[in-house]
Amino acid sequence: MEFYLILAALLGVLIAAFAIQNATPVAVKFLVWEFQSSLAVIVILSLLAGMILIFLISLPGRLKRRKELYDKNKRIAELEKRLTELERMASSGQTTA
């Protein structure tokens, strides 16, 4: 846990240093929109947009795997219940014979 906190703090320091060193205003044009912002903000927003895009692209596969895991766990529970019943039947059959 501490490792992740140290890593997050280090990443925060690096992002802050990047933002301070790249505070130069730049003009951004996209289709009909045009605005000015610092270079660091543009780069960070582009990074976030890429992360969101990757998350959305990977979402269907993750949901499919989660459903498959749920179905398999349900099947395992059913088989374990059946095994318990068979073991109980086998043990009761041996004592009566």
pLDDT for 17: 85
Amino acid 86: pLDDT: 93
Q: Domain residues for 51?
A: 2-96
Number of folded domains that form the chain? 1
Q: Spell out the residues 6+ positions from residue 96 whose beta carbon is closer than 8 angstroms to its own.
A: none
Tens-digit pLDDT profile for residues 32-55: 889 898 888 888 888 889 989 999
Q: How far apart are CA 47 and CA 28, in angstroms?
A: 15
Give the model confidence (pLDDT) of 71-95 as tens digits.
999 999 999 999 999 999 988 876 5
